[in-house]
Amino acid sequence: MKPGNRHCFKRLLGLLGVGLLWGTLSAGLAGSALPATLNGQSLPSLADILEPVIPAVVNIATSTRIQIPEHPLLSDPFFRQFFNFPEQQGGREREQKSLGSGVLVDAKKGIILTNQHVVGKADQIQVTLRDGRSIQAKLVGVDTGTDIAVIQVQAKNLQDLPLGDSDHLRVGDFVVAIGNPFGLGQTVTSGIVSALGRKGLGIKGYEDFIQTDASINPGNSGGALVNLRGELIGVNTAILARGGGNVGIGFAIPVNMARRIMDQLIQYGEVRRGVLGIQSQDLTAELAEAFALSIREGAVVVAVVPGSPAEKVGVQRGDVIVKANGHPIHGRADLHNTVGLSRTGEEIELEFMRAGDFKKVSVVIAEPGRARVAGEQIDGRLQGALLESSVDTEKTEGIHLLEVEPDSVAWRIGLRADDWILAVNRRGVASFTDLKSLLRRIKNKLLINIRRGNENLFILVR
């Protein structure tokens, strides 16, 4: 082969070999009579990268006891007595099993990073290592907002995976996904980073996903997304397919986000999120034109909570936040993530634009406060209820009923202690102001949407 052709061939192997030749090798041809070299050139392979990585990815099997509700007639005392059915102590139970994956990130302490939806409700968690050992794991903590969980095993000779820096990822970077799809056992697939910073998918509350075309299927959840340096750069979490299979669109939680959550779960057993005390929206082209702004991206402050950390440092309605801790804020979701991933007491530097000028402030994230008010102060129809609400306007969890006095107005319309008021006449309620404003305008029929336990209900007030 001529030197010029040899150079082109080598370049072609370097560009295409990872996606094509390695895929062929992993399909089973590696065990056949393929040569180690071709025309004097080494064939590209990920084997050397994967050998130290694969033992750090574990298979997770969980079992959960689920209560099966009995037929409504069986809960009726008259029906039981009439047909002479014996009294039952609780409903029947069945065991639900599921499979997933995890990543060992600290071999000395046996710390495993995985998804909350894999282990969050499990009664038992069994971890199977690459060498075949099966170990009972304990749950350290979970965070539903990011779908991150931490479990721990006690074992020797574990292999962990070094953490990379997901902030340095670029679209087009080669990645490898390792997990336990369909319970088949450890499986490796390859692809590229298809997109970064995916938000607004409705998968979780804090979204900043890495999108990849590496095959991710059910069972891959909690597994590793690895770069070609053998570093963990993401935790596989979701697929975008109605049938639940791979269609070339998978999502992983960036390791930098996962690391922040993991540190809190290990230290506290929970994530202690603080509040900034503002409500924001995306800066659109129309708003930028209306405000005569030269910028086209940012988070517009639309409300500031009195006495909040944001108000104390001078943030005002109409300010457009463009950076937080030096990182660009493209819209509301970026600001939401920054605050949501910050610990209580942590200081954040905000850069914002006001009247054409850029300003900087440092604000300390505060503990989430809650306000309480008697129901009659909101509306007479809530007399007898004690209401509680978060003072963080970014949260939309609704209004919590701490107490409801028996035979009070609130009791008679059907409200009970520990209910959550989510909406009134199909309009969402996030604060006392929202609730008071809605009830002031609606004097006739009320349709109150509440959450009671694990159920959502409607209460009609005439």
Active-site residues: which are they? Answer: 117, 147, 221
- The alpha-carbon radius of gyration of the chain (Å, integer) is 27
Q: What single-letter amino acid sits at 123? A: D
The SS3 call for residue 461 is strand
> What count of other Cβ atoms lies within 10 Å of the Cβ of residue 407?
7
The SS3 call for residue 161 is coil
Joined tokens for residue 15: 């560009």
Cα 372 to Cα 389: distance, rounded to the nearest angstrom? 7
- Angle ∠(370,394,295) on CA atoms, nearest 5: 145
Q: Where are the alpha helices (DSSP H) in 17-115?
A: 21-26, 47-50, 77-82
Find where tokens 């600001």 sit. 335
